[in-house]
Amino acid sequence: MAQQATHSNASLTRQGQSNAAGDARALYLKLFSGEMFKGFQHNAIARDLVMKRTLKNGKSLQFVYTGHTKAEYHVPGQSILGNSDGSPPVAEKTITVDDLLISSAFVYELDETLAHYELRGEISKKIGYALAQKYDRLIFRQIAKGARQASPITKSGFVEPGGTQVRVGTNNQASDAYVAASLVNAFYDAAAALDEKGVSSEGRVGVLNPRQYYELIQQVGDNGLVNRDEQGTSRQKGNGIVEIAGIKIYKSMNIPFFGSYGTKYGSASATNPGVTSPGNTGSFVAETAEDARASVTGINGNYGNATDFANSCGLIFQKEAAGVVEAIGPQVQVTSGDVSVVYQGDVILGRLAMGADFLNPAACVELVAGAAAGSSGNAAFGTTYPANA
C-alpha cells in the first residue's frame, strides 16, 4: 500500500506548475496577467491613435513642435546659411506623468474554492477595463482641449493654424448630435479644415458615441461610406471600418459628450440631445461631474472639468493631435507567500503611470452641438474657443 501511495503522488499532475517544478500556481498568475492585458487592449482605443512614448528616469517628456518654413530667392554671391527669417520656428510641449493609476481586488481563497466559475479571469478583465476607461478618457479630453487652442508657435512673422471646432447641424440644438446627415456634413467640414491647415491625411480618425455611430451606419448603404465587402458585424463593431472623407470612424463610451461620457439621457436642451433613458442604465452613464484638473490629487496635468465639455459631441483628429507618455505600462502584481497565508487570499493589482496632453492643435477637431462653434469661454483651460482659427 505504501508503494502504491508513493507512485500516486509522483505521477500527480499540477496544471499550474511550469515544467512540473516550482510554484504550483505560477502559470495561473500568468493567465491572469494575460486576461488583464486583453481587457485593457480591447477597450483602450486611444493608445494607438495618438503619439505614444515611453518615459524612463524622469517625470516628464519633451515633444518638439516644428512650424512651417518658407521658400525664398537666392541672392547671387550670398552664402546659404539657412533662411534669413530663421525658419522653421520651433516650440516645445512637455507632458508630465500623473501619479500611479491602480485598480485592484482581493480574492479570498475559500471563495475561489467554492465558486463554480473561474474567478480570477473575470476579475482581471474588469481591472483591465477600468484602466483602459481612464486611459481613453484622459486622452480624449486633451484632444478636445487642443481643438480650442492656438498654435504653440508664437514667433513674430509666422502664422501657424490652431485648433478647429465644427458645429453639427445648423441650429443651436443639442439633438443635432444624433442627426446622421448633419454628422456626415460635419465630417466633410472637418476633413476640409484639416486639409487647409496642412495636416497629413494619414492617421485621421473620428470618435463618436455609440448612438451617434449607429445612427450613422444606417446610411452607409446609401452613401457609400464603407467598402461594400465589409458588411454585417464588421460595421457594427465600430473599429474603423466606416470612413467619411478618409477619416476612419470609431465608437467609444469614453469621449466627452455634453459633460458626460459617451451617453447622456434626459429632456432636450442646449446641452442635452434629449434621449429618453431606457432605465436601469447603470452608474457608468452618470459620471457627469468628474473633475480632472491639476487640483485633483494624483493629476499633474489639466484634463478639465465636466462642465468644460458641455457642448462637446465628438472628436476628429490626426495622430499628431495628442501625445501620451507612459512611465509604467499596464502591469499586473499579485501578492504571494506570507501575505497570502496571513490573509488567506491574494490582492490582484493592475497599474500604470501615464500622462497625456495635446500636441498639435491644428490636428484636433471638436464636434459641438447646442451652441455655435467658438462662442464659449473656457476658464479651466485659460482660453476662449478659437473661431475655427
108 assigned to some structural domain: yes
Question: Residue 142 and residue 376: Cα distance in Å, rounded?
Answer: 17
The better pLDDT of the pair 263, 19 is held by 263
C-alpha cell at 174: 443639442
The answer, yes or no, to whether residue 42 has pLDDT greater than 80, is no
The answer, yes or no, to whether residue 56 has pLDDT greater than 80, is yes
The confidence score (pLDDT) of residue 307 equals: 87
Question: Residue 37 and residue 19: Cα distance in Å, rounded?
Answer: 24
The confidence score (pLDDT) of residue 146 equals: 94
Q: Quote the number of domains for the chain.
A: 1
Question: Residue 112 and residue 126: Cα distance in Å, rounded?
Answer: 17
Question: Residue 119 and residue 333: Cα distance in Å, rounded?
Answer: 16
Average pLDDT for the chain: 79
The confidence score (pLDDT) of residue 127 equals: 87
Terminal-residue alpha carbon distance, the chain? 88
26 assigned to some structural domain: no
- List, for residues 182-198, the tens digit of each pLDDT value: 999 999 999 999 999 99
Residue 230, domain extent: 46-65+95-384
> Mean pLDDT throughout 233-249?
73
The answer, yes or no, to whether residue 284 has pLDDT greater than 80, is no
Question: Of 327, 367, 383, which Cα lies nearest the Cα of 176?
Answer: 367
- List, for residues 17-27, the tens digit of each pLDDT value: 666 676 665 55
The confidence score (pLDDT) of residue 27 equals: 56
221 assigned to some structural domain: yes
The confidence score (pLDDT) of residue 7 equals: 45
313 assigned to some structural domain: yes
The answer, yes or no, to whether residue 166 has pLDDT greater than 60, is yes
- Who's near 197: CB < 8 A, 6+ residues apart? 161, 164, 362
15 assigned to some structural domain: no
309 assigned to some structural domain: yes
Global model pTM greater than 0.85 = no
Percent of the chain with pLDDT strictly greater than 70: 76
> Mean pLDDT throughout 93-113?
85
Pair 87, 67: CB distance under 8 Å: yes
53 assigned to some structural domain: yes
The better pLDDT of the pair 232, 207 is held by 207
The answer, yes or no, to whether residue 32 has pLDDT greater than 80, is no
